[in-house]
Every structure is written in C-alpha cells, then in structure tokens.
C-alpha cells in the first residue's frame, strides 16, 4: 500500500527519521504513509519540519557547564595516563641502557677477544708478570725460569667443504677437478656460470685466467688472472692455493775423457865400473 520497504516503514513509525537516506526521501515516505492511512500529509510534513528545526538546535542547547567540566576532566585524566605511560617507558629505556653500558664496561676485553676471533686475527698471548724473588744466597745454585709454552694460534674461517662458483666474463677453456675427479671440461662462453662443491679440494685449469671470475664460499675473489694467461689454481677449505711447479732435472751427458800422453823417461844404460 505505501510502497515503502519494511525496514523503512518500521523506522518511520518509530519516529527514527534520522535513519532515512535523505530529507527528501523522508518527506516522500511521510506523504505516502499519510495517503495510505487517510491522514493529512501537509500536517505531517509540517510537524516533521518543526522536529527537524528543533533537532538542529538541541545539541547547542544541551551543552551545559557541567558537561564541559566533565569533558575537561575526562581529557585531563587521559592526558595524565598518557604522561604516566610515557614516563614509565623512558625510565625503562634508561634502566635498560644503563645495564647495557655496565655490561660493556665490565666485559670490554672479552668482547674485543671475541671480535678478533670472529675476524680470524690471532690473539697474542698475554704476558704475565713473574713475581720478583730475592737473589739466592752466595754459594746456592742459580735456578733459571722456565720459558712459557707457546700458545697455539686458533685458525678460524676454515669451513668443512669447498663451495666454488665460476662465472665467465669472456670465452675461456676450463677444466675443473673436484676431489680428484673431473667435474667439467670444456669452453665456457661469456655469461655462463658453473657451481661446484667439494670435500677436500677443487682444481681449476684455464687458458684464459682473465676471463673467469671466481666466487669462493659466496665471496667474490675477483678475476682468476690475466687475459690469455694459462693458470692452474686449487681451492681447499683454507682458501686458494697455487700449485708449486715441479722442476724436472735432466741429466747432462758425461764429458768425454781425453787421453793425455805422459812421457816416461827411461834411464840410460851406464857402463859398469
């Protein structure tokens, strides 16, 4: 009868005009509602206009000093809580920072030692002062101090395996031997990459060392050598090694022995007496 949806019609009967989509639609709903019930639409629209005007003025009239004081007190309470939380956070940061500074001061030497070990730098043995003793009495044997035993140097950055990646920047012939087994032999073109993993050693032989870039354990080692250089290089868990060339001793021919004539003087026969 009214051509109004059920939810809109119920809101209209409850007087919830603010839930209407717009003021024009609210007026249209009122007119259809009045026509369906046989009421005067103009009177309903006039009452609706009056309620709208009162509703617009009511928020200004309901504001009282007590409400203002309550709002201010609520804001002051929230601001106080925020200030307290901020101060507690600052105090916690100061306490934490002081503890960190104290730890760094008390364990400064240990931190330096750990950083040196991580960088692979050998740490020299700390000299301990020997207690001074009084000279022995005359006639007593002299006791020599024993030399301190050398402290073994800790070798770090030694991995269990060899991870090698070869990237060709120019065309190069390459032969790779991994743990005494041939893993690759052929020509690598510019842009080609080969990766190898070995347990003991990886040997790389090339006729163009300047055309190969080597990555050892994901660290760029630069070009292997010069352009056109024939080079053999071996990588072990301790790093790169260049094999020492073996010198082959060629025996020289034996010199010829020349016969030298030696003059033998024969004693002359002398007459007897």
Q: What is the pLDDT of residues 235-248, one digit of tens each?
A: 999 888 877 655 44
Predicted model pTM: 0.34
Give burial (CB, 10 Å; 0-12/13-18/19+) of 172: buried
pLDDT band at 182 (very low <50, low <70, confident <90, very high): very high
Is 77's pLDDT higher than 50?
yes
Return the pLDDT at 83: 92
Is 164's pLDDT higher than 90?
yes
Q: What is the rounded average pLDDT of the residues 14-30? A: 82
**Residue 221 to residues 93, 176, 189, 213: CA-CA distances in angstroms?**
44, 17, 20, 7
* Helical (H) or strand (E) element with 245: none
The residue ranking higher by pLDDT, 261 or 194, is: 194
**Residue 200 to residues 4, 206, 214, 246, 263: CA-CA distances in angstroms?**
88, 20, 18, 22, 71
Is 265's pLDDT higher than 90?
no
pLDDT in tens, 92-139: 999 988 888 887 776 654 555 555 555 555 555 555 445 555 555 554
Q: What is the rounded average pLDDT of the residues 54-75? A: 58
> Does residue 168 contact residue 187 with C-beta atoms inside 8 Å?
no
């Amino acid at each position: 009868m009214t051509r109004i949806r059920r939810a809109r019609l119920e809101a209209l009967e409850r007087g919830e005009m603010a839930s209407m989509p717009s003021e024009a639609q609210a007026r249209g709903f009122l007119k259809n509602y009045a026509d369906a019930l046989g009421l005067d639409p103009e009177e309903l629209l006039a009452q609706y206009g009056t309620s709208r005007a009162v509703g617009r003025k009511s928020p200004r009239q309901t504001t009282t000093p007590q409400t203002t004081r309550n709002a201010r007190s609520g804001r002051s309470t929230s601001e106080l809580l925020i200030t307290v939380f901020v101060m507690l956070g600052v105090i916690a940061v100061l306490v934490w920072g002081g503890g960190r500074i104290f730890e760094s001061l008390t364990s400064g030497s240990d931190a330096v030692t750990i950083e040196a070990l991580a960088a692979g730098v050998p740490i020299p043995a700390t000299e301990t002062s020997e207690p001074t003793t009084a000279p022995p009495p005359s006639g007593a044997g002299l006791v020599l101090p024993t030399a301190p035993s050398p402290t073994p140097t800790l070798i770090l950055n030694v991995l269990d395996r060899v991870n090698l990646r070869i990237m060709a920047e120019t065309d190069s012939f390459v032969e790779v031997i991994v743990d005494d087994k041939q893993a690759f032999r052929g020509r690598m073109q510019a842009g080609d990459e080969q990766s190898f993993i070995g347990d003991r050693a990886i040997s790389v032989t090339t006729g163009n060392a300047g055309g190969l870039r080597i990555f050892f354990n994901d660290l760029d080692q630069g070009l292997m050598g010069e352009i056109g250089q024939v080079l053999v290089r071996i990588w072990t868990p301790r790093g790169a090694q260049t094999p020492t060339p073996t010198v082959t001793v060629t025996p020289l021919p034996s010199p010829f022995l020349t016969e030298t004539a030696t003059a033998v003087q024969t004693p002359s026969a002398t007459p007897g007496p």
